[in-house]
Structure 1
Amino acid sequence: MRSQFSYLLLAVLGLKNGVINTGNSTGRFADINGIHTQEKVEAIIASSISSLRKQFGAKKIGAVGYCFGGKYVARFLAPGGGLDAGFTAHPSGVTTDEWAAVGGPLSIAFGTLDGSNTPAQRAAAEAIFTTKNLTFQTTLYSNAEHGFAVRTDLSIPQKKFAQESAYFQAVRWFDAWIK
């Protein structure tokens, strides 16, 4: 499938047996790490990257990861991981070691109301990227909670702005580093 911005898209949706909820409830999300182990998720992503290169002839590959997926954008942006650039919004569970291993261009959308990414955690990630002289961008959206880039109350102007802006942040990032 091609996006409206002429990118080949491969959607890796690994929530088998999980709950995808369009409201603000997290459903059975707490179970996700038990169902989707790091080993299983990494095998799916590695296979997807391989398919994009071999079957579709992709020269450059970017990845988008929301929440749970942000960890894997970071992990696969490490040298030899197979990604050339990445974008994540409200990433969860990313360790400082995983941020430190990132070797490619990375853009992150954070929200001020996201308890998964405290000011100290955001500052630590930025310090790592700066020390490494990594090509990176972080944007902090006001009044944006965890999950704002995929589900939020669009009747609140700040939240609508944050969601739309995070989308265009990703598009501009890939225009710069993947196209």
Structure 2
Amino acid sequence: MADADVATRAPESDAQESTAPADPSAQARPTMSEHCTSDRPTPSGEAPKGEVRKLGGVDVYLAKPNTYPANPSKLLLLLTGGTGLKSTNNQIQADKFADEGYLVVMPDLFEGNPAPNGSAVPDSEMQGTSFLDTFKLKAVETAKSFLIDMWLAKHTEEKVMPILEKVIHACEGEFADAVGNGGGIYAVGYCFGGRYILLLASERTPPQTGWTGAQRPADEEAGEAQGPAKKGPYIKAGALAHATLVSPDDFHDLKVPVSLVCVEHDPMFPDEVRESGEDAMSKAGLEHEVQVYPGVPHGFAVIGDYSDSHIKDAQATAFDQMLKWIKEH
């Protein structure tokens, strides 16, 4: 991305921070880290090859295989982190799946409002500073955290799921050949988008919104008497990497195979949430896989330039894991 707030701090320091034990107090409320809201530098020589257009009234990035539509393809939804639709790295990530033969649709989950850059102030920058300077730095960090919380309040499940439903319905119409060829829609998600892979993979009752008064329409009351209508699953199989904002409940009622790329000791996706999810999927007899990657930062699986060879290798391995999963299903 060309925005001035793109993160340029050394990636290796991210890995050191992310592998530290999670602070329990930091898990008290759902949030996102700087790795969900900032892009890494784009790898040299790489640039997007797809196009931004409307699909079902929603802006999407569309990446097609070179041989489509002459040769059959399968349809893949790619759900991004907070950097959103216009992120160069996210677009290149979509292109990588298109190069593997998938027709990739990457929707704008945030309606043109990507997350504010929320990078925290590293402890190393606090050393040797005066009390006043320390206070100022912490005030900036608190302000950024507040902005992210305000942003999250605007982009809830109640707002995002209808966007996805519009895009999925439009895909089933315009790209019926790719949907049919795959026997359904596949999906991969990163960071913020990771949780929505779980939601798309489940059969659930949508959150109740709207009416809060005592009197409601008769048809709504009649519908409740028969039980709320369930929706989903919307996809055939899904894979997610370093998801954020996930709760144990999100693993209930999953109906299709899922693959998880996880970061060891990830405060954005705590071990206890992952372990609870694994237990729920195992008890439900759901086909799944979970791979935990040590020594890498949250957000490592998204395209970005890293000088640390361990992170580079892990990024390539995570892509192969996700690709292999959707190819096998």
Q: Same fold (TM over 0.5)?
A: yes
Match of 1:71 in 2: 195
- Are the equivalent residues in 1 in contact too, given 2:265–2:271 (CA < 8 A)? no
CA contact (8 A) 1:142 1:158 kept: no
Residue in 1 that maps onto 2:166:
47
Normalised to the residue count of structure 2, the TM-score between the two structures is: 0.50
Could you report, residue by residue, the CA deviation over 1:82-102 in whole angstroms, capped at 9, with x for unpaired residues?
Answer: 111111101111221211121
Take 2:303 and 2:101, find their aligned partners in 1: how far apart are those partners? 24
Q: Larger Rg: 1 or 2?
A: 2
Q: Which moved more, 1:114-123 or 1:149-158?
A: 149-158
Q: 1:20 to 1:14 in 2, by over 3 A?
A: farther
Pair 29,158 (structure 1): closer, same or farther in 2 beyond 3 Å = farther
Q: Which residue of 2 aligns with 1:5?
A: 100
Q: Secondary structure at the match of 2:106?
A: coil
Partner of 1:132: 284
Structure 1 residue 152 displacement after superposition: 6.1
Q: Take 1:135 and 1:71, find their aligned partners in 2: how far apart are those partners? A: 18
The unaligned stretches of length 5 or more in structure 2 are 1-62, 65-97, 121-143, 204-231
Which secondary structure state, in structure 2, belongs to the residue aligned with residue 81 of structure 1?
coil
| 1:88 aligned counterpart, secondary structure | strand
- Checking the alignment, whether the CA contact within 8 Å between 1:113 and 1:144 is kept in structure 2 is no
Structure 1: which 5+ runs fail to align?
none
Pairing partner for 1:61 from 167, 174, 185: 185
Q: Is the 8 A contact 1:113 1:146 kept in 2?
A: no
1:28-79, Cα deviation, whole Å (9 max, x unpaired)? 5444312212122101111111111122111311111111111111011013
- Aligned length, in residue pairs: 175
Partner Cα distance (2:258, 2:201) in 1: 8
SS class of match (1:123): helix
Structure 2 CA distance for partners of 1:20 and 1:7, relative to 1, 3 Å: farther
Structure 1 segment 26-41 matched on structure 2, within 5 A: 29-41=148-160
Normalised by the size of structure 1, how large is the TM-score?
Answer: 0.88
Q: 1:120 — aligned with what?
A: 272
1:81 is displaced (CA, Å) by: 2.8
Identity of aligned residues (%): 29
SS of the aligned residue for 2:318 comes to helix
Amino acid at match of 1:70: G
* Greater relative contact order (CA < 8 Å, ≥ 6 in sequence): 2
